[in-house]
Amino acid sequence: MWNRIHHSYLSSVSVAFLCLSILAAPITSGAQKVSSTSSKPRVLVLAVNGAEWDLLRPLLIRGELPNLKKVIENGSWGKLRTVSAPNCPKVFSTFFTSVPPEQHGITGFVVDGETANTNMLKSEPIWSLLSKHGVTVGMANVPATFPVMPVNGYMISGMLTRGKGCEDGILCSPKLSEVEGGDAVYPKSMIPELEKNVGDFLIDCSRMPNMEDLKGKEAPEVNAWLDGVQKIRDQQTKLFEYLLTNHPTDFTMFDQSCEDRVGHWLYPIQPYNVGFDPKVNSVRPDAFPNQYRALDKVLGTLLQHVDENTYFFMISDHGIKPLREFGDTHGHMSHGLTPSTTPVIAKHDYPDPDDVPGAFIAMGPGIKKNHELVGWVASAFDIAPTILHIYGIEPPPQMQGHMLTEIFESGAPSQASSLHAQ
Ligand SMILES: [Zn+2]
């Protein structure tokens, strides 16, 4: 069992540090709004649940994802190898710890009859390692971070947060003010500030409608649900923008979770695909690609806070593909949950993880530009070791991934190490 940090003083230290940062922030010109004065490397990670290259690539070619195009042209990109029968909590906890699910303990949405939560983590996560080394950490909406844990900065939970109308915390979205069964924000003192400046936002994406709700009113239900999804994304964007502007940290990680959910039941499938129901599937065939068009706008907002010295990563836990076999019992289940009657037409928990690779994109000082990683170069296990190396921190021995030397011009983040040594 790893030793968790319980630094009650972190909150006051962070506040003092932030006040100094804001006062000492240099006046930057142009669109850049980077205001951190830390001498440590700056890393920004945007995680996306279920980003699927089969959808991203055609949109990129058509010029409909201009911000993603910019990142790819200035970075290294490719598939991200995931774990067997991937799902969000399982893979994110692998991102955090670089050990397999059986070892970190988060083997799914539910573990031993209980919704997965951070108290079950058996291997030290990256936010704890970075905090211990004096790196400031900011995280928001990241799955499997509930209840939040103390960090050298702030943490706002994401998927699996429990609350009113979302008692089991699974694939639903409690409001910040309605969270139950644990803390969704560290430090707690940040809650009134967030409510005042961002609003009482919904944590995570909304629950998918069930078959009974849809019956006979498919089109209005689909459209209303999609409107709700966009509202959540707007709130998340406002939250990210607020945090980057007012609480800059050395390491920052945000997540978008609606893409995966839209894919599950509104993937643009054809009549010959498993589960095709014209009443649902012909309502908004643009729904899933639209998620990536909207994601690109979020990306554009974040890139306003990325300068040439910032390492930027966009990662996804897995892809998502239409169901393949008639009679697939998964057809009317969602994320392996019972009872669930959402008419699911695409999934990601295939036993062979290479059927549903995630996405990996990296850009920053010394990272190869316009460089495609062909084959299985990057894996979910490599995220934590690569980020630790950027900060000059040796990954602990239990970590099974490696630093992604392949993405760096010189084989290592040399510029970062020299920054770290200052
Ligand atoms: Zn999913």
Kindly give the distance from the C-alpha atom of residue 264 to the centroid of ligand 1, in angstroms, as a whole number.
Answer: 6
Centre of ligand 1 from the C-alpha of residue 248, in Å:
30
Q: What's residue 305's pLDDT? A: 97
Where in 292-357 does DSSP place strands (E)?
Answer: 310-316, 321-322, 346-347
Positions of E strands within 159-204: 185-186
Question: Is the per-residue pLDDT at 180 higher than 50?
Answer: yes
Residue 40 phi/psi, 5-degree rounding, is -80, 155
Distance 351 CA to ligand 1 centre (A): 14
199 CA to middle of ligand 1, Å? Answer: 27
CA 29 to ligand 1 center in whole angstroms: 41
Residue 213 confidence (pLDDT): 87
Q: Alpha-carbon distance 261 to 217, whole Å?
A: 20
Residue 95 identity: F
In sign, the C-alpha dihedral spanning 281, 285, 288, 291 is negative
Check whether 356 has a pLDDT greater than 70. yes
**For residue 7, what pLDDT is reported?**
44
pLDDT of residue 343: 85
Report the CATH number of the 37-421 domain: 3.40.720.10
CB 305 within 8 A of CB 44: yes
Task: Extract the tokens encoding 257.
Answer: 């979770």
Question: Cα(346) to centroid of ligand 1, in Å?
Answer: 9
Domain coordinates in residue numbering, the chain: 37-421
As a whole number of angstroms, the distance between CA 290 and CA 59 comes to: 10
Q: How far is the CA of 265 from the centre of ligand 1 (A)?
A: 10
User: How many angstroms separate the alpha carbon of residue 86 from the centre of ligand 1?
Assistant: 9
- DSSP string covering 4-32, please? PP--TTHHHHHHHHHHHHHHH-----TT-
Average pLDDT score over the chain: 89
**Least confident stretch, 2-6, 33-37, 406-410:** 33-37
- Percent pLDDT > 90 in the chain is 78
Other CB atoms within 10 Å distance of the CB of residue 402: 16
CA 84/CA 286 separation, integer angstroms: 30
Please give the pLDDT value at position 412.
85
Q: Give distance in angstroms: CA of 245 to centre of ligand 1.
A: 31
Residue that has been written with the tokens 């990129």 in this structure: 60
Query: What's the sign of the alpha-carbon dihedral 93, 95, 100, 104?
Result: negative
Residue 206, token pair as written in the block: 């909304």
- Give yes or no for a cis peptide into 339 (omega within 30° of 0): yes
pLDDT of residue 3: 60
pLDDT in tens, 7-66: 433 443 344 344 334 333 333 333 334 445 679 999 999 999 999 999 999 999 999 999
As a whole number of angstroms, the distance between CA 146 and CA 161 comes to 5
- For the beta carbon of residue 175, count every other beta carbon within 10 angstroms: 17
Contact predicate 247/18, CB 8 Å: yes
Q: How far is the CA of 328 from the centre of ligand 1 (A)?
A: 16
- The CA-CA-CA angle for residues 230, 231, 236, to 5°, reads 95
Q: What is the pLDDT of residue 211?
A: 85
- What pTM value is reported for the model? 0.90
Position 156 scores a pLDDT of: 98
CA 334–ligand 1 middle distance (angstroms): 8
Lowest mean pLDDT across 5-19, 145-159, 333-347: 5-19
Q: How far, in Å, is the centroid of ligand 1 from the Cα of 367? A: 31
How many angstroms is it from 338 CA to the middle of ligand 1? Answer: 15
What's the pLDDT tens digit per position in 223-273?
A: 999 999 999 999 999 999 999 999 999 999 999 999 999 999 999 999 999
Residue 120, pLDDT score: 97
pLDDT band, very low/low/confident/very high, at 184 (cuts 50, 70, 90)? very high
What's the 336 CA to ligand 1 centre distance in angstroms?
A: 10
CA distance between the termini of the chain: 33
For residue 399, is pLDDT > 80?
yes
pLDDT at 69: 98
Output the pLDDT for position 364. Answer: 97
276-332 confidence digits (pLDDT tens): 999 999 999 999 999 999 999 999 999 999 999 999 999 999 999 999 876 665 544
**Highest mean pLDDT pick, 34-43, 333-342, 393-402:** 393-402
What pLDDT score does 182 carry?
A: 97
Q: Which of the 8 DSSP states describes residue 39?
A: S
Instruction: Using pLDDT thresholds of 50, 70 and 90, give the confidence band for residue 171.
Output: confident
Please give the distance, rounded to the nearest whole angstrom, from the Cα atom of residue 9 to the centre of ligand 1.
38
Average pLDDT over residues 166-181: 92
